[in-house]
Amino acid sequence: NAGVTQTPKFQVLKTGQSMTLQCAQDMNHEYMSWYRQDPGMGLRLIHYSVGAGITDQGEVPNGYNVSRSTTEDFPLRLLSAAPSQTSVYFCASSPHTVETQYFGPGTRLLVL
Amino acid sequence: GEDVEQSLFLSVREGDSSVINCTYTDSSSTYLYWYKQEPGAGLQLLTYIFSNMDMKQDQRLTVLLNKKDKHLSLRIADTQTGDSAIYFCAESPGSGNTGKLIFGQGTTLQVKP
């Protein structure tokens, strides 16, 4: 199993540009989540999904969209990037028991 | 609301014990977790404790849970330089299972030789 994979690893955007951060898992996990990590603030939940076709907002959803058309994939979309979205983004997945979440390696995003 | 608090920094000497503390607000949290993040890396689950337990031990790691005070601690025995990292406490809020985690700000552990 590859576990949780994220692409790209690094990205630089200009303000106003759009992009999609990809996340995929091959463990047949029902739950998937997106977090952002900023210095001194830990990880904050952006959006999460408890199964294909079901998504919900986390603590900081503004400026981000998600969809979950398959169990494997959970892309995060930035429709119009802002400098405040400069961060490290982590995707995670877990089986429904939530005894543990598996994290991807992260995507470092810089918005100029 | 849901909130998890940690102290930001801890410095210890190699061989000493480290104790990292955490407080949380959601008394219905089913699981509480400790994650480790090394520089430039993702998060690695160290251990977790179910809310009906008081203590969990796993090799050099001991987790203590005081549910009355909503206080969680992680003790690392015989701390090594390889333990230098950021440690995050997290709770899974609510009695149901939503796949959500609420994280603390992280405690940077510095281990001096």
Which token pair is A25? 């898992």
Instruction: Round to whole Å and give the CA distance between A41 and A26.
Output: 30
Give the residue from B8, B45, B48, B52 showing the smallest Cα distance to B27: B52
Contact B92 A98 (CB under 8 A): yes
Going residue by residue through chain B, which has 113 residues, state the pLDDT in tens, using 9 for 90 and above.
Answer: 568 999 899 999 999 999 999 999 877 777 889 999 998 888 888 998 988 889 999 999 999 999 999 999 999 999 999 999 999 999 887 765 566 788 999 999 999 99
Q: Report pLDDT digits (tens) over A30-68.
A: 999 999 999 877 899 999 998 999 999 998 999 999 999
Residues from A in contact with B at Cβ < 8 Å:
30-33, 35, 40-45, 48-50, 56, 58-59, 90, 92, 94, 96-106
Contact B99 A49 (CB under 8 A): yes
Which token pair is A26? 């091959």
Instruction: Round to whole Å and give the CA distance between B50 and B65.
Output: 9
Give the residue from B23, B28, B31 showing the smallest Cα distance to B5: B23
Instruction: Round to whole Å and give the CA distance between B47 and B82.
Output: 17
